[in-house]
Amino acid sequence: MDAVSLKNQGNKLFGEGRLAEAIKCYTKAIELDPENAIFYSNRSFAYLKLEDYGFAIEDATKAIEKNPKYPKGYYRRAVAHMALYQPKEALKDFKNAVRYAPNDKSALQKSQECEKLVRRIRFEEAIQAEEPPSALEGINIEDMDVPTDYDGVRLEGKMTEEFIRDFIQRFKDGKRMPLKYVYWILREIKAFYEQEPSLVEVAVENDEELVVCGDTHGQFFDLLNIFETNGAPSPKKKYLFNGDFVDRGSWSTEVALLLYSYKLLYPDNMFINRGNHETNDMNKMYGFEGECKAKYNERTYRIFSETFVALPLATLIGKHYLVLHGGLFSKDTVTLDDIRKFDRLQRKQPGQSGIMMEMLWTDPQPNAGRGPSKRGVGLQFGPDITKKFCELNNLKAVIRSHEVRQDGYEVEHDGRLITVFSAPNYCDTTGNMGAVIHIQSTYELKFAQFSAVPHPNVRPMAYASGLLGLM
């Protein structure tokens, strides 16, 4: 088969959603004709759909190298930069896309939107104080009024099971929580987690069970299904949510408020790690900031952001399993004590390097050693890296999330690395199962899979930045 035929076959597979197979076709086409910019651009687009933004940038750059006047190369690279919230880099590429395709209305529109964003960022950077005050400052929550038409259970200074049951039903009915109660929950959660270590340690006693959940990404109705099928949090039913509970799905505020409420009700039985989407950059692009503003107000988002900063970065289960959102490190010498001593409250956001970024962003690879990140942030690590880390820290395995798995979970790296993902049919498009891990006092891992459940007709990413509409 010649290169063009392989490209056409790749396009057909792409249209069917078979992205990995499409990439193989584009790769074969490139091998036969490595000077064709279109082949790199098409593969870049497939990587974009897989959220492999680092690879997408590499291919778009190669397309530009082959044809410096190729507008789609700049367009693809701009989208990948925006997906990583790198608007200044994206703006340069959008402008070039317009330069070489002046009649492309979409490129022009996105270039203008991106330029407005960059101007806003520069303005905010210019006026920002060294340490802005807490968004909770100046709010007297106790003196706030509850709307007169509120007919739900009252929250009187203490979280209750009755209040949680009531607002779950209200959320299912499309209603919102009174702002007074939102602020109260966020204030209490922030205060609680600011006293917690960066590495939380959990034991599972004889009559208890711990359920480990991966990404839920604002899929509120699938979260309710997890509780319905596995049992709700209780004094004997512990839960650990391993980050990325907001963004993408359009019920992220509902998911976050429910998890936080259960944490306040059962502080010793509900555990939450921070993910790479509990960060400012991701929230600005993937919907959580927009959702907070649409359903509540901008201050609500800013307070949520402060709670995210306070979340622990990892959980150690029975001294056997380290649970963290992304993966392992660029150095073989990192220990559990390094995580314990890490000052996440001072660092606040993960940035582009360092131990915190690596914990939230890295991914496994099948090959030994370390490799460049397919995402454009962090790195990839092989089975030998996982083995060394587990042996150094006397662990059975590392449990992480951060990536879709078609079966909801995957055991890899010779059994020392487990990925669990708990958002079935991710973004209503992937068709994947969700999964959770059950752990009892023997510390054996048992996996439970589940399918997506119906939800109201609100599309994923409904509150996301318009710049992501390109994808």
> Which residues carry out catalysis?
277
> Does residue 468 contact residue 281 with C-beta atoms inside 8 Å?
no
Q: What is the largest CA-CA distance in the chain?
A: 73
d(C-alpha 457, C-alpha 210), whole Å: 33
Angle among Cα 340, 345, 351 to the nearest 5 degrees reads: 95
Burial of 263 (0-12, 13-18, 19+ CB in 10 A): buried
Which residue type is seen at 163? F
421 phi/psi in degrees, rounded to 5: -135, 125
d(C-alpha 113, C-alpha 449), whole Å: 41
Angle among Cα 313, 315, 319 to the nearest 5 degrees reads: 140
> Does residue 434 contact residue 420 with C-beta atoms inside 8 Å?
no
Q: Tell me the CA distances in angstroms from 398 to 213, 327, 416, 418, 420, one per residue in order.
A: 14, 8, 6, 6, 11
The secondary element (H helix, E strand) that includes residue 88 is helix 87-100
Length of the chain in residues, anyone?
Answer: 471
d(C-alpha 239, C-alpha 393), whole Å: 24
CA dihedral for 363, 365, 370, 375, sign (positive or negative): negative
